[in-house]
Amino acid sequence: MHGLKKKIDLTDLKAAFSEIGYVDWHIQMSIQDQDHHDDDLDVKVAPPELKRPPLYVVVLLNDDYTPMDIVIEILQQFFAMNLDQATEVMLTVHYEGKGVAGIYPRDIAETKANQVNNYARSQGYPLLCQIEPKQ
């Protein structure tokens, strides 16, 4: 059976079709693909770049005037701590000068610190909350 089947060359086919004025765009496409391997439009999808955002530590600073129960209330209110956790952090700040209220991406950390400072000021207390890049 070998030799009976003739392999059709798409370029010949294209010439034959154009001679009789027939254009089949599908054939045209295949011929172009065949003729121009280098400039075809294969697009490789890049793997998504998933980087974790840099984290910031929200820090409370000690002062001599903000009442302990206000600090505890703030830690519960803005950092979702229970009473035991809030008391522990408040005492760390009280005895060591500073303590960690939470760790977040930058925009969230900034928002929390601003909320705490605004609230403390609105109540007449000098409590200071700031953010630091996490090492």
Residues at the site binding ligand TYC, with contacts judged by CB under 6 A: 60-64, 66-68, 71, 90, 93-94, 127
Of 28 and 62, nearer to ligand TYC (C-beta) is 62
- The least CB distance from residue 122 to ligand TYC, in Å, is 16
- The least CB distance from residue 132 to ligand TYC, in Å, is 15
- The least CB distance from residue 61 to ligand TYC, in Å, is 6
How far is residue 66's CA from residue 22's CA, in Å, rounded to a whole number?
Answer: 89
- The least CB distance from residue 89 to ligand TYC, in Å, is 8
- Where b means 16+ CB within 10 Å and e means fewer, 60-78 reads bebeeebeeebbbbbbeeb
Q: Tokens 């956790």 map to which residue?
A: 85
Of 30 and 85, nearer to ligand TYC (C-beta) is 85
Cα R_g (the chain), whole angstroms: 35
- Where b means 16+ CB within 10 Å and e means fewer, 37-50 reads eeeeeeeeeeeeee
Of 31 and 127, nearer to ligand TYC (C-beta) is 127
